[in-house]
Amino acid sequence: MDGSVETAEAAAAAMWQADRACQALGMELLSIGVGVSEMAMTVQESMVNGHGICHGGYIFTLADSAFAYACNSRNLVTVAAGARIDFIRPARLDERLIASASVVHQGERSGLYDVAVNDASGHCVARFRGNSVTVGGPLVEDATHA
Amino acid sequence: MDGSVETAEAAAAAMWQADRACQALGMELLSIGVGVSEMAMTVQESMVNGHGICHGGYIFTLADSAFAYACNSRNLVTVAAGARIDFIRPARLDERLIASASVVHQGERSGLYDVAVNDASGHCVARFRGNSVTVGGPLVEDATHA
Amino acid sequence: MDGSVETAEAAAAAMWQADRACQALGMELLSIGVGVSEMAMTVQESMVNGHGICHGGYIFTLADSAFAYACNSRNLVTVAAGARIDFIRPARLDERLIASASVVHQGERSGLYDVAVNDASGHCVARFRGNSVTVGGPLVEDATHA
Amino acid sequence: MDGSVETAEAAAAAMWQADRACQALGMELLSIGVGVSEMAMTVQESMVNGHGICHGGYIFTLADSAFAYACNSRNLVTVAAGARIDFIRPARLDERLIASASVVHQGERSGLYDVAVNDASGHCVARFRGNSVTVGGPLVEDATHA
């Protein structure tokens, strides 16, 4: 996948500034690169059911967010067209989850990305595969000079 | 799919009581039956990005919740093993979304469920298909006499 | 989905004529309409393993074929971008399988289609959901006058 | 994933002997290991449409076969519960395709496997992710002494 780390960082910074949803969930963007990203989220009280098990929707949301930053890293407005998630083991209250996204294939318009969601010990919580579609031009205009 | 509406309602009531995650998102369980459920959620400020577009993770979370109530409606503890979502059109701030889940197939242990997420006008926002696996016994003991 | 049955039939006829793969498997195109199709295939010796169980790949191939005819029925060259299949019960030697495809959503460029694969008794063998992408112009030029 | 290469080889040999479907398609089992397998298939006349493009069903069938050998490699009868395939680029008549399957996660009963289908130059033709379910005991009884 073409692109530079500087451009990926500039695009991510622009996305993050406007990204109230990820901010509200306490996510952190740990790293960003060309076709890759890493995000973290800690399972909060509001994310669990009565047994202290994290709602799968929040695990998906973390994975989907990492996917979004990875597929926008070439600085072209790109959205999720669809995704599949497989849940491997439950996540519990206060666990810190790490989602690592990487490009499998990026065409001109459509892309395929994998995301692994692991707990702090590196055990797999879920695997996600997302289909992206590029729908617009640059997120940031002067990324190459940022 | 075997079961009675009374049992489905008792199982759903027990789930709902403990379901802080769905409650915290302002979801409403509109209806429940054998293998079916309907849930609503309104897109809030904390769910959107800077363009007022709902994060796909929240759409998934709504669909996944409707799926959970539908696949637990036969009163056996059942969890999501995986799911695929296809995003059709964006949802916006303040839109009320309705997720309608229905069983496609329920075996002894594994099940397949469809969820349509529509806006208030009935336009399709997303389609979800979930794989469930039954992992335990009854959610409520005296459901048949509830 | 816009279109006429006449156009759908003309597009299907043009596809079928060139479709050595479906012909070689003994498939029959039972019906075609706007966004819908029905195809049949009988499980042959060459499709089964030593236990007389049909290879899942052939069940997918039947579903994928029905999908192809349905998503090309608006007479614009359209290909499969991806698909998910869930296998419900095995198909056996000599069973006649029917795949019924129908459009879930068709945008300008991308589409979502469901296919149910049933046995002759109407029992579900598999469920398939396919993502299509329109990549070209008309399959047949004078479809409206065909 | 637990297991030995000897057991994986014995299980694969037993499967292959009965596997008329894979044999009829001219597949070759290139390698087998614990949770992994590699299979090859050349695109034949009977697999293509009028434009010389391989029917996606045959690409799925190759991937699904590699998946089957990988998920049965621990010598417990295991079947495909479902799978998702994403088509990246077309395969053409006479192209030799290689499917490489590897375990993502194997639980006691359910497993998740990735398969990459590449052409002879190593370009990606399709990506496949399959869900397996173990339904029985050993394929071969004396695998450890084989």
Cα B70 to Cα B15: distance, rounded to the nearest angstrom:
11
Average pLDDT of chain D to the nearest whole number:
94
Distance CA A84, CA B85 (A): 6
pLDDT of residue D4: 93
Mean pLDDT, all residues of chain B: 94
Q: Which residues of C touch B112 (CB under 8 A)?
A: 86, 88, 127
- Please name the residues in contact with D33: beta carbons below 8 A apart, sequence gap of 6 or more: D5, D8, D73
User: Is the Cβ pair B46, A79 closer than 8 Å?
Assistant: no
CB nearest D86 (choices: C47, C55, C82): C82
Question: Can you give the pLDDT at residue D2?
Answer: 80
Buried b / exposed e along C30-63 (16+ C-beta atoms within 10 A): eebbbbbbbbbbbbeeebbbeeebbbbbbbbbbb
D39 DSSP 8-state letter: E
Centre a 10 Å sphere on the Cβ of residue B64 and count the other Cβ atoms it contains: 28
Report the distance separating Cα D82 and Cα D104, nearest Å: 15
Give the pLDDT confidence score for residue B144 in this predicted structure.
56
What is residue B38's three-state secondary structure?
A: strand
Which residues of chain B are within 8 Å of residue D133 when distances are taken between CB atoms?
Answer: 110
Q: Beta strand C110-118 with C124-134: parallel, antiparallel or unpaired?
A: antiparallel
Residues of chain D whose beta carbon is less than 8 angstroms from a beta carbon of chain B are 81-82, 84, 110, 131, 133
CA nearest C80 in D: which residue? D87
* B116 → chain C, closest CA residue: C104
Q: Write the burial class of residue A135 (CB in 10 Å: 0-12 exposed, 13-18 middle, 19+ buried).
A: exposed
Tell me if C112 and B127 make a contact (CB, 8 A cut-off): yes
Average pLDDT over residues D28-41: 98
Domains detected in chain C:
5-140 (3.10.129.10)
> B105 contacts in C (CB within 8 Å)?
86, 88, 124, 127
Segments of chain C scoring below 50 in pLDDT? 146
Tens-place pLDDT, residues D77-96: 999 999 999 999 999 999 99
Q: Looking at the partner chain, which of A86, A112, A129 has a beta carbon nearest the beta carbon of D131?
A: A86
Contact residues, chain B, for A14 at CB < 8 Å? none
Q: b vs e for A27-56, b when ≥16 Cβ sit within 10 Å of the residue's Cβ?
A: bebeebbbbbbbbbbbbeeebbbeeebbbb
If interface means Cβ-Cβ distance under 8 Å, which residues of chain D face chain A?
A: 84, 86, 88, 104-105, 107, 112, 124, 127, 129, 131
CA pair distance D33, D113, nearest whole angstrom = 14
Are the Cβ atoms of C105 and B124 closer than 8 angstroms?
yes
Alpha carbons within 13 angstroms on the beta-carbon side of residue C32 total 27
| pTM score | 0.96
- How far apart are the CA of C21 and the nearest CA of chain A, in angstroms? 27
Check: CB of residue A113 under 8 Å from CB of residue A50.
Answer: no
Tokens representing residue D93 in the block: 């008549």
- Whether complex ipTM tops 0.85: yes
User: What gap in Å lies between CA A26 and CA A40, rounded to an integer?
Assistant: 8
Amino acid C1 reads M
Interface test mutation site (partner C, options D22, D48, D55, D117, max chain C beta carbons within 10 A): D55
Residue in chain A nearest C133 by alpha carbon: A110
Within chain A, which residues score under 50 in pLDDT? 146
pLDDT recorded at residue C143: 55
At B24-73, the pLDDT tens digits run: 999 999 999 999 999 999 999 999 987 789 999 999 999 999 999 999 99
The beta-carbon neighbor of D84 closest among A84, A107, A124 is: A84
Contact A82 C131 (CB under 8 A): yes
In angstroms, rounded to a whole number, what is the distance separating the alpha carbons of residues A35 and A16?
Answer: 16
CA distance C38 to chain D (A): 17
The mean pLDDT value for D116-134 works out to 97
Which residues in C lie closer than 8 A to residue D87 (C-beta atoms)?
Answer: 79-82
pLDDT of residue A146: 43
* B11: enclosing H helix or E strand: helix B5-18
Chains with ≥3 CB–CB distances under 8 Å to C: A, B, D
- Model confidence pLDDT, tens digit, residues B91-129: 999 999 999 999 999 999 999 999 999 999 999 999 999
**What's the pLDDT score for residue A11?**
94
